[in-house]
A and B are shown apart, each in its own frame.
Chain A
Amino acid sequence: MPSVCFYFQVHQPFRIKKYPVFNIGNDHDYFTDDSEGKLNNRKIFEKVARKCYFPANDTMLHLLEKHPEFRISFSLSGVFLEQAEQFMPEVLNSFYRLARTGRVEFLSETYHHSLASLYSKDEFQRQVERHRSMIKKFFAVEPTVFRNTELIYNNEIAHWAEELGFDGILAEGIERALGWKSPNFVYTPQGSEHIKLLLKNYKLSDDIAFRFSSRAWEEWPLNTEKFASWVAKHNGNGETINLFMDYETFGEHQWEDTGIFAFLRNLPEALLRYPDINFKTPSEAIAAYPARDRIDIGEHISWADVERDLSAWRSNAMQYAALENIYALEKDVLASGDAALVEDWRRLQTSDHFYYMCTKWFADGDVHKYFNPYDSPYDAFISYMNVIHDMRSRLSLTRGVQSYKNAV
C-alpha cells in the first residue's frame, strides 16, 4: 500500500458551427464546419490525435509492456468514440491495442457527456445504457464503475449508478464535501448500500494536470522522483491514491516540449521503486479495499474550476435558458420517431456547449477563454439558441403546426 489508481478522461464534443438566425428552417447540419476555424470538429480531432492520443497511447502501451504491474483506466465518451470512428479510426485501434493487454479498464459514463443527471433521470439512464453497449461493441468489455460528466456527483447520482448495477463511482475529493476525511480511502455514498466511492486526490492529480509546466509553481520543474516521493508519503495513511485527469493533459494541455511525455514514461518506474506502491484499476481498488466510512454529499460537486460545483455550466441566465430549452424538448423529440432529430437533440446536451457560455472568469482570459472555440460566451449562446429554434421547426414538420405552437 498505497495503490495508485489512474483514470483518464477522453472526450471531444461535437461543437456547433457558427449558426446565424438566417439558417433557421433551412440548415439542419449543426455540427459540420469545413472552415479553417476553431469549430471544425474533424480538424480539432486530427490535431488532438496527433498531439495527444497517438503519442500518449504509444507511451501507455510501452509502459504496459514494460511493467506487468502497471494499470490504467479510461472513460471514453460516446461522442469521442463516434468522432474517432468517423474521422480517424486508427485512434480507436490504438485504444484497442491498450485494451488487449487486459490491464486497462474502461469506465461508464453518459454517451453524450451530458448534464442529463441534473435534468432527466430517464434520459440519463438511456445515455448510460447506450454508452455501455458501445464500449461492449468496441472493446468487448462491460464497464462496472461509473463516472458522471465532469465528475458531477451527489448522493442521488451515486444511488442511480447503484440502481444501474455499478460497483463503483468516481467523484472529486474536495474538503468542502469530505471535511476531515481523506480522499485516499474507499467509501460508501450516503443513501446507497453496495456501491463504493473513489475520490480524486486533487492535489496530486492537479500537480500533473495543471501545475506541471507552471514556472510560477515553487515545485517546478516536477520530476518523477519528487512526485513518487509525494505519493509514498501516504504509505500508512491511505489505501488508494486516485489520480484522475483529462487524457488531453498529455500533449494538448501540457505540450510535449514541457517534458510531460518523458515524465509519463518514467513515472511507473519511479513509483515502483517504492516496494509498498502498486497499481490498481478502479474496479480492482474497490475490490481490494473495504469502505472505511460513509460520505454524505447532498449538494452537487464536480471537478470543474476552482469552485468545483456546477457553476461552469450553470451560473448565468444564458446557460440556464439553454439547458431548460433543450430538456423541455425531451418528450416531443422522443415522440417524433425521427432518429436524426433525436441524435441531434442528444448531441446538443453535451456539457461543453454550456461551458462555452460561461461568463465567469471570461474577462480574465483563463481556461474558459482558452478552451472556448467561440469568440465569446455570447456567440456560443447565439448559435446554440438558433439551433434550438431550428429543432423546433423540425418538430413542427414531424408533429404538425399545433405542437410547434405549444413548444414555442
Chain B
Amino acid sequence: MRVLMFGWELPPHNSGGLGVACYNLAKALSAKNIGVLFVLPRKTAVSAAFPVVFADITIDVVPIASLLSPYLDSAGYEMFLHEEGHGALYGRNLYEEVLRYGREAGRIAKRETFDVIHAHDWLSFPAGVAAKRVSQKPLVVHIHATEFDRTGGACVDQRVYDIERWGMEQADAVIAVSQFTKNIIVERYGIAPEKVSVVHNAIEEGMMFQGDAAFSFPGKSIVLFVGRMTLQKGPDYFVAAAKKVLKEDTNVMFVMAGDGDMYHRVVERAAELGMSDHFVFAGFLRGEALARLYRSADLFVMPSVSEPFGLTALEALQNHAPTLISKQAGVGELLSHCLKVDFWDIHEMAAKILAVVRYKELRQCLSEYGHQEALQCTWEISADRCIDVYHRLGA
C-alpha cells in the first residue's frame, strides 16, 4: 500500500508537536511496509536535513516552495511578509498560499501512484482534496488541532473554520488525535461521529535523556513549562499559579521553554508580580537540551486551555518528570498516572504544584508509574489504527 501524505513541516524545522507527530507516524507506517510519499509545502527548509533523517526508512519527501507555517495566523503572516520583505516572492496572504499548495498537490497527484491520501490539518486540506479529485482515491484528513484550539475559542477565523469543515466533509474518513478533539469535530463542525476515528499520538524514540540531571538550582525545586507561548497553551495560567506557589514556598524555580506571540507578555507579567528571580526563560529547545530539562524537572506542567493531544506530556514522562496536565488535554485519555486540573483553576494548580514539591513519595510514584504508562504509547499502535482506517476505505 502507498500513501500520499500532505503535511507542512517535519523535524528539525518544526515549530511544534505537529511536525513531530507527522514524522513519527510516517516512520511507523513505513516500518509496516506502507509506502509513504510525504509532500511538504516548503523547499528550503528540508534541503539539508531530510536525506539524512529519511535515508533508512524509505520515505520520499516532495517539497514545494511555499511559506506556510502551521501556527501562523493571517495577521501574523502579513506581518511576516512585510518584515521579511517576502511580499514579492510569495502569495499575498495565507489563503492564497493554501490554494497554491492545493494546485501543486494536484500536479503531484497526477504523476504519482498511490492508494490513499492522508492530509494533516487545515493548511493541507485543499491539497488533499485536489489530490482526491485528480486521482479518485480515498482521502483521510487528520485533525491535530482545530481553529477552536488554536484560538482558545475566541476570535475563530471564519475562513480557517470553513476550510477545516470543508476538508472534513470532502474526506472519506477523519482521524482525530483524541476523543477530546473528536467531540469538537462532531459538535462544532457537524461531522457524523461514525466518520471520525480516534488515533492517539505516541512517544518518540530517542527523546529520552541518557545523562545525569545536570541542571539544577541548589535547594530549589524546578517546575517546568514547555510549549509555544500562545493563548492555547495557557502560559498565563502557569504564571498565575506560580504566584500562589511562591507565597507558600519560595524554594521553587519556574522554567519556561518555548516562544510565541505571548512571550513578551509572559516575561513582563512574571516581572510585574515580582517573580523575576524565580523565573528562567529558556527559549525554544529541542532534542537533547529539551530532554535534559525534562529530566531535571521536579514537575512538568501543561496548563493548556484546549489541547487536542499534548505530546509534551508524553515527552516529560518519557524523561521521568512527574506531570500535571489540564483536564482540557487529549493526552489525559491515555494517562492515569499524572495529576489533572482544570486550566482555569489556578488555586488547585498551585495546590498540586506545592504538594509535588513537598512530598517526595508523590514525585516518586508519579515519575515511576507515569514513565511506565507513557512507554506503552507507541507509534506502532497509532500506525495500526491508521492502517485500519485505510482498509475500511478499501485501500
Contact = CB atoms under 8 A, between A and B. Distances in A.
Interface stretch (A192-200, A279-287, A375-383): A375-383
A363 B377 CA distance: 13
B41 to A, nearest CB: 40
Given A21-B248, A376-B340, A359 B351 contact: no
A382 B373 contact: no
A359 B369 contact: yes
Main secondary structure of the interface of A (DSSP, over half): helix
A376 B336 contact: yes
B365 A20 contact: no
Contact of B355 (A21, A320, A321, A377): A21
B347 to A, nearest CB: 7
B337 A317 contact: no
A370 interface: no
A317 B364 contact: yes
A19 B351 CA distance: 9
Interface string B327-353: 000000000110110000001100110
Interface in B350-375: 351-352, 354-355, 358-359, 361-362, 364-366, 369, 373
Nearest to B324: A378
Contact of A381 (B337, B348, B351, B362): B362
Give the residue among B339, B355, B358 with the most A Cβ atoms within 10 A.
B355
Contacts of A321: 359, 361
A370 to B, nearest CB: 14
A378 B248 contact: no
Contacts of B340: 375-376
Given A317-B361, A378-B339, A21 B351 contact: yes
B4 to A, nearest CB: 37
A44 interface: no
Main secondary structure of the interface of B (DSSP, over half): helix
B361 A381 contact: yes
Nearest to A376: B336
B64 to A, nearest CB: 43
A22 interface: yes
Contact of B339 (A20, A359, A363, A376): A376
Interface in B299-345: 336-337, 339-340
A20 B347 contact: yes
Give the residue among B248, B337, B359, B364 with the most A Cβ atoms within 10 A.
B359
Contact of A320 (B336, B358, B361): B361
B152 to A, nearest CB: 24
B355 A385 contact: yes
Contacts of A385: 355, 358-359, 362
A120 interface: no
Nearest to A319: B361
B7 to A, nearest CB: 32
A382 B362 contact: yes
A235 interface: no
Contact of A378 (B358, B366, B373): B366
B352 to A, nearest CB: 7
A53 B24 CA distance: 55
A318 B336 contact: no
A362 B361 contact: no
Contacts of A20: 347-348, 351
B361 A318 contact: yes
A386 interface: yes
Contact of B365 (A22, A317, A375): A317
Given A22-B248, A316-B365, A317-B361, A362 B355 contact: no
Nearest to A383: B355
A42 to B, nearest CB: 24
A359 B364 CA distance: 12
Contact of B336 (A21, A317, A362, A381): A362
B355 A318 contact: no
Contacts of B337: 359, 362-363, 376, 378
B365 A363 contact: no
B361 A363 contact: no
B176 to A, nearest CB: 22
Contact of A386 (B336, B355, B365): B355
A248 to B, nearest CB: 25
Interface in A279-338: 316-318, 320-321
A20 B359 CA distance: 13
B321 to A, nearest CB: 14
Given A21-B358, A363-B373, A318 B352 contact: no
Interface string A370-400: 0000011111011001100000000000000
Nearest to A381: B362
Give the residue among A362, A378, A379 with the most B Cβ atoms within 10 A.
A378
B335 to A, nearest CB: 9
A381 B359 contact: yes
Contacts of A362: 336-337
A363 B336 contact: yes
A44 to B, nearest CB: 22
Interface string B287-309: 00000000000000000000000
A381 B339 CA distance: 12
Given A20-B347, A376-B340, A359 B365 contact: yes
19 contacts: A21-B358, A22-B347, A22-B351, A317-B365, A318-B361, A318-B362, A320-B361, A321-B361, A359-B337, A359-B369, A362-B336, A362-B337, A363-B337, A363-B373, A376-B337, A376-B339, A378-B337, A382-B352, A385-B359
Interface of A: 20-22, 316-318, 320-321, 359, 362-363, 375-379, 381-382, 385-386
Given A378-B362, A385-B358, 5 more contacts: A21-B355, A317-B361, A318-B365, A377-B365, A386-B355
Interface of B: 248, 336-337, 339-340, 347-348, 351-352, 354-355, 358-359, 361-362, 364-366, 369, 373
What 9 A-B pairs have minimum CB-CB distances, sorted nearest first?
A: A20-B351, A317-B361, A321-B361, A363-B336, A382-B355, A21-B354, A318-B361, A317-B364, A21-B351
